[in-house]
Structure formats: structure tokens, C-alpha cells
Chain A
């Protein structure tokens, strides 16, 4: 992998993290921890992997992305802004009445959002639907989905896992943002979905386990997924909830809380990014 490409992605991820922090601080509510843990995966997808046209968000042959863990919307919005889907000013309207940026992704309001999500477990089914349609139409676009690890407690995820394997959806790649925390604590304490890798294997998926904050590993795993025929691939990305901000890392308390002004300043200082709001 070219070093300058990786450095570019890492720099983008830093800027995206800063925008996640600032948009959440501006909204004064929202999901910080899970947005930060997913940031690197989203940056890798939109800035390196996916074939999309920001000036033509509904281009029929585009690759699709479904944020099944819809509460990480701030990460998606920040990436879409950096990719040029809509103007940056919208980030400071997050979660406000009349905003194009809803608390959870809304495909009708936000350019670049391929599916409305937020109610856990449903996004992966919708991603299957896009992949099935691609098969019916013999199109070669690919579909990406991002699930939370707590989301795996939803039964629908496993219905969908069965569907994807049964219909050999090798045009689908799902990521699991494996940050080990959900609102009420560690996933293994609340209701363990472990072993996640063995479960997906048993359901007939190609399973890859990576460090979800390492751009090289993310991109290599996507290439392996593309090369895998006859079955869907799940990339189980080991991540840190609140990644990148020392006082947010590995804290369940940062699941559904936004930073205040002081915390925002400290977070930006740690990231070394200046944001003009």
C-alpha cells in the first residue's frame, strides 16, 4: 500500500473526528463513542474503496453504503461533507428542527445517504436487498454495511446473515465495529454476542478479523472481500469506542453523550486539528 495514500486517509480521519466532535458539541446531544470508533472504516470506504459520485448521489451504478448502526450518523455526515456531498455548514445544524441532518440517517433528507437507518438490525437486511437487486440486474456495484457489535443482539441480524449466505451475496461486505461496549456496559456483560467470528462462519460467511483503526488492514480486507466469490464477507474490525480522544476511549458513558464546550476544546487539542465553526 502506498505510504502517501495511507497518510492521506489518516489525515482525513483526523479531520473527520474533529468534525464529529464539533457537530455533536453543536447539537449538544448524540452518539460520540460509536461515531469515533467507526470513523476510520468510513473514511477508508468513501475515500479509497467506494465508487461514488458526490455530485450525482443517486447514480444507479454507484457502490452503496448502509450505516446499520445508524446512531453513528455524525461519522457518516462528516465523511459525506469531506467527500463533497453537501456543504459543511450543515454539520452545525445536526439534530435541529428543519435540518437535513437527522439524529439518525434519513435518505430522503441527506444527499449521499443510501438508506434510512437507526432502528438496529434493519440496515443489514436493506443492504442485502441492494445486493440482491444488483444480482437480479447483473450490475457490478458493491454494497457495504456497518454494524455495531451490540447490534448483533438483534435477531434480525441473524435472519439477514442467513439470507446473505443463502443467496451467495459476494457483492456484499459487512463490517462489525467491534468496540465491545453498548449503552449499558460491556457487550459480554449485557448479553454476549460472542464469539462473533465463529457465529458468522457458522452462518456461511467469509470472516476476516482486523484492527479497525489501521488503514492498511482495512483496505487489504476489502480487497480480500472483493476477491471472495460465492459468499458474503464480514470484516470484524477490532475498535476502541471513543477512539482518538483519551478521555472518551473505552467508556460506555460516552455512548450517547455529546461533549460540552470544554471537552470539545480538549478533544480538538488532542487531535491537533483546528475547526472553524
Chain B
């Protein structure tokens, strides 16, 4: 097994790394800096770190105010509070005036684990994707997370960055990986079926691909790190070349990656597909691995769904 790092860890380290080069970065947190890992930035640049206390709504609008002065502001908390509790501050104070605020949302999805459904954001992608002016990024591993933070810094405008709590395999080579905002990554080739995944599900899709190959099925794996704006071309190309698309996300299937891919396919190239994710369900307490089994989001589940989808392929 390769090295495992949580994407939130990579986020905090990236902030601390790029904080030196970009002196106009200011980081805000809402009493979760040890969990969101923004404490890494705080340690190096205490004068540019502001703890807003347990006041997420206030934090988002404050971030907006700081951004009006020309700074690049990162505002961090758990995804449930960033996209949920503070939704309207994000919408009206950040996105509406298109201010340069990056929302570092950690602890997304069910792999939050034991804290349970109240703390597992499973609808944040859908919420943020609906907001005009908002870019939505969901990195797959530590390498991509670091690159995504850099891309967010270099992009002028609001960005929602979705990170996980759980340590996940590093799948990219940090020396060769190139991140392009709005462009998906063909992480592994294949022409029988395309598995389109986001976040930690990219790693699971790669595992599933290995298992499928043992059965003679060549699955392409596509990593959609930028969910908005979505890379239409890579999806249409996959539809043309494989004829069957399986989406996998740690999120409800409505309005998230699956919804976004379905929108592209139905408009440009109707193709059979299956969306894997949560079907009108909240998460619950449990060990992350047990929850992934319970909600059918393991590599084995991906294998099963891929084979079932292939049966439907014309």
C-alpha cells in the first residue's frame, strides 16, 4: 500500500508553504484549526491568521470584508458549516460580489466517521455548485490538494475546496503532476467503461480498476477534481470511447458529481450511466471503513456496479 495522507493535512501544509511566497494570504478559522490543519499556517504566520471562534457565519462575511482590501483570504471550517450553516454568507457576501475568498472545507463526506451524520456534509457540492461565480474543487489525494491550493491562490475569485478527514492513498507523483483548473485528469486508461470519480473515491476507483482488469475489463478512471466548471470534453470523450459511465462520489447523487456528469451527457451525448453515492440518505456514526461498506462505496462495490452497467451497454 502506498503512503496515506489526509487531504486536509495536505491543505494545511500547502497554506504554510505558499504563505511565504504570497504575503497577501490571510487565513481564518472557526476554532477548528487543529482539525482543518490551518494551524500549520498559524505557526508560521501568526500575524496573518485570525481565529474567528465558533462563528462560521461571521467568519465568511469577515473573510469577504478582508478580501475587499486586496487580500487572498482562506476561510476554513468543516464542510457542513462552511456550505451549510454559512451558506447565505458565502452566497451573498462572497460569491455575489465575487470576492477573492477561498473556502477550505474539511471533513466532507461520510468518512468523517464516528462524529456521525450531523457532521458529515453529503450535500455541500450540490449547494456550492448552484451558486453563481463559485468554483468547486474536490481533490483526490495529497498531491492534488497541494496543487489545488496553488491554483486557488492564482485564481482571482471565490473557490470552494473540499477536503477529507481520512488518510487516503497518495495516487499522484508530486514531481510530475500538473493541475489545471477546470480540466479533469485521465488517471488510468481503458475503453470498456469509464469510472468518473472525485475526492477520495478516485483512489477507490483505481483499486476497482485493478480488480476489473483481472476479469478482463479495461476501465478508464477519470478524476474530476474541478466539479465546477466541469470538464465537458473529457466526459464526452469518455462517453464516445467507452459507451458506459459510472460516477462515484462521497456525496448524495443529486446535484453532485453524478448530477453534473448526467447534465453533460444528457445535453451533449446521451449515454448509459450509473451514479454511485448516497441516495437520499444522511450518514451516521461508525468507522470510516465500515461506513463505506454500509453505503456501498468500496472498491468491490464499484466493481459490482461496473459489471452491472456493462450488462446494460448496448
**Cα–Cα, bound, A130→B26 (Å):** 12
A59-115 at interface with B (beta carbon < 8 Å): 60, 64, 66, 106-108, 114-115
CB neighbours of B96 from chain A (8 A): 106, 116
Which of A115, A166, A167 meets B64, CB within 8 Å? Answer: A115
Q: Mark A122-141, 1 if CB is under 8 A from B, else 0.
A: 11011111111110110000
**Cα–Cα, bound, A125→B64 (Å):** 9
Q: Mark A201-214, 1 if CB is under 8 A from B, else 0.
A: 00000000000000
Pair B97/A136 contact, Cβ less than 8 Å: no
Pair A133/B66 contact, Cβ less than 8 Å: yes
B270 adjacent to chain A (CB < 8 Å): no
Q: Which residue of B lies closest to A70 (CB)?
A: B92
Pair B69/A107 contact, Cβ less than 8 Å: no
Pair A60/B69 contact, Cβ less than 8 Å: yes
Please name 24 pairs of A and B residues whose Cβ atoms are closer than 8 Å in the assembled complex, sorted by A: A106-B96, A106-B97, A108-B98, A118-B92, A119-B89, A121-B57, A122-B61, A123-B61, A125-B62, A125-B65, A128-B58, A129-B67, A129-B68, A130-B66, A130-B69, A132-B66, A136-B26, A136-B48, A156-B58, A156-B61, A159-B53, A160-B58, A166-B53, A167-B50
**Cα–Cα, bound, A155→B67 (Å):** 23
A163 adjacent to chain B (CB < 8 Å): yes
B88 adjacent to chain A (CB < 8 Å): yes
Q: Mark B73-103, 1 if CB is under 8 A from A, else 0.
A: 0000000000000001100110011100000
A259 vs chain B, min Cβ distance (A): 28
A67 vs chain B, min Cβ distance (A): 13
Pair B97/A116 contact, Cβ less than 8 Å: yes
Query: Which of B47, B62, B71, B92: most chain A Cβ within 10 A?
Result: B62
Q: Mark B49-63, 1 if CB is under 8 A from A, else 0.
A: 010110101111111
- A115-B97, A122-B89, A130-B68 in contact; A159/B55 too (CB < 8 A)? yes
Query: Which of A106, A122, A155: most chain B Cβ within 10 A?
Result: A122
A162 adjacent to chain B (CB < 8 Å): yes
Pair B92/A119 contact, Cβ less than 8 Å: yes
Pair B69/A137 contact, Cβ less than 8 Å: yes
Pair A125/B61 contact, Cβ less than 8 Å: yes
**Cα–Cα, bound, A206→B93 (Å):** 27
B132 adjacent to chain A (CB < 8 Å): no
A29 vs chain B, min Cβ distance (A): 20
Query: Which of B48, B67, B70, B92: most chain A Cβ within 10 A?
Result: B92
Interface residues of A (CB under 8 A from B): 60, 64, 66, 106-108, 114-116, 118-119, 121-123, 125-134, 136-137, 155-156, 159-160, 162-163, 166-167
Query: Which of B47, B50, B61: most chain A Cβ within 10 A?
Result: B61
Pair A126/B26 contact, Cβ less than 8 Å: no
CB neighbours of B71 from chain A (8 A): 133, 136
Shortest 6 CB-CB distances between A and B: which pairs?
A129-B65, A125-B61, A126-B65, A159-B58, A159-B55, A129-B66
Pair B64/A129 contact, Cβ less than 8 Å: yes
- A116-B97, A129-B63, A132-B62 in contact; A162/B68 too (CB < 8 A)? no
Pair B62/A162 contact, Cβ less than 8 Å: no
**Cα–Cα, bound, A15→B92 (Å):** 32
CB neighbours of A119 from chain B (8 A): 88-89, 92-93
**Cα–Cα, bound, A89→B286 (Å):** 63
**Cα–Cα, bound, A161→B265 (Å):** 49
CB neighbours of B88 from chain A (8 A): 119
A236 vs chain B, min Cβ distance (A): 21
Pair A136/B47 contact, Cβ less than 8 Å: yes
A103 vs chain B, min Cβ distance (A): 13
Q: Which residue of B lies closest to A154 (CB)?
A: B57
- Contacts A119-B89, A123-B61 known; 11 new A-B pairs at CB < 8 A: A60-B69, A106-B97, A107-B68, A108-B97, A119-B92, A128-B62, A129-B63, A132-B66, A156-B58, A160-B62, A163-B62
Pair B68/A125 contact, Cβ less than 8 Å: no
**Cα–Cα, bound, A162→B50 (Å):** 13
CB neighbours of A137 from chain B (8 A): 69
Q: Which residue of B lies closest to A124 (CB)?
A: B61
Pair A130/B65 contact, Cβ less than 8 Å: yes
CB neighbours of A115 from chain B (8 A): 64-65, 68, 93, 97
B99 vs chain A, min Cβ distance (A): 9
**Cα–Cα, bound, A119→B88 (Å):** 9
**Cα–Cα, bound, A160→B92 (Å):** 16
Which of A108, A122, A131, A163 meets B55, CB within 8 Å? Answer: A163
CB neighbours of A123 from chain B (8 A): 61
**Cα–Cα, bound, A132→B62 (Å):** 9
Query: Which of A118, A125, A132, A155: most chain B Cβ within 10 A?
Result: A125
CB neighbours of A163 from chain B (8 A): 52-53, 55, 58, 62
Q: Which residue of B lies closest to A139 (CB)?
A: B69
CB neighbours of B97 from chain A (8 A): 106-108, 115-116
CB neighbours of A155 from chain B (8 A): 57
**Cα–Cα, bound, A162→B52 (Å):** 9
CB neighbours of B58 from chain A (8 A): 125, 128, 156, 159-160, 162-163
**Cα–Cα, bound, A121→B252 (Å):** 31
Pair A122/B92 contact, Cβ less than 8 Å: yes
Query: Which of A126, A155, A160: most chain B Cβ within 10 A?
Result: A126
**Cα–Cα, bound, A108→B68 (Å):** 11
